[in-house]
Amino acid sequence: QRPEHGRLNLQVGDQRLRAYVASEGQRRYVAMAGKTWELERPKPEQKRRANAAGGPGAGSLESSMPGLVLDVLVSAGDAVERGETLVLLEAMKMELRITAPAGGTVTGVRCKAGDVVDRGQVLVEIASDDG
């Protein structure tokens, strides 16, 4: 079903779900069941940078949109698992969870609760367990 007034009603099997959709430029954000996903078609230069940085789990985690840092749940030196929530942001009346893309060790935290951050601003740095 097409989004209407920022809402999207879905049916998966017998389960009915409601998602909320927001846009910022070419990016789309979908919030559902306490989680938020950012949808964007990667540009060729983004793919090259990700490959150069060692792929998922290596490098920096950035804010996906401008917002307010609600909480930072990790510190430098912490071991994290794939999918673990590292930072909570509030943006466009949604709570965004910045999660670890892979297991690793936090090498730096570049924000604190109460900070106002811009899209693309580095929040947490992680060294991947894979190397």
Residue 54 burial (10 A CB sphere; 0-12, 13-18, 19+): middle
Q: Quick check: is 49 in a domain? A: yes
Q: Quick check: is 2 in a domain? A: no
Q: Quick check: is 1 in a domain? A: no
The mean pLDDT of 5-17, rounded to a whole number, is: 76
Q: For residue 131, what pLDDT band results from cuts at 50, 70 and 90?
A: low
DSSP secondary structure letters along 103-114:
SEEEEEE---TT
How much is the pLDDT for 1? 47
Q: What is the pTM of this model?
A: 0.59
> Which structural domain range is residue 44 located in?
7-128
The CATH number given to whatever domain includes residue 46 is 2.40.50.100
Tokens of 60: 């920096």
Q: Quick check: is 71 in a domain? A: yes
Give the number of domains in the chain. Answer: 1
Q: Quick check: is 95 in a domain? A: yes
Beta carbons of 96 and 65 less than 8 angstroms apart: yes
Q: For residue 21, what pLDDT band results from cuts at 50, 70 and 90?
A: confident
Q: Check the CA dihedral 59-61-64-67 and report its sign.
A: negative
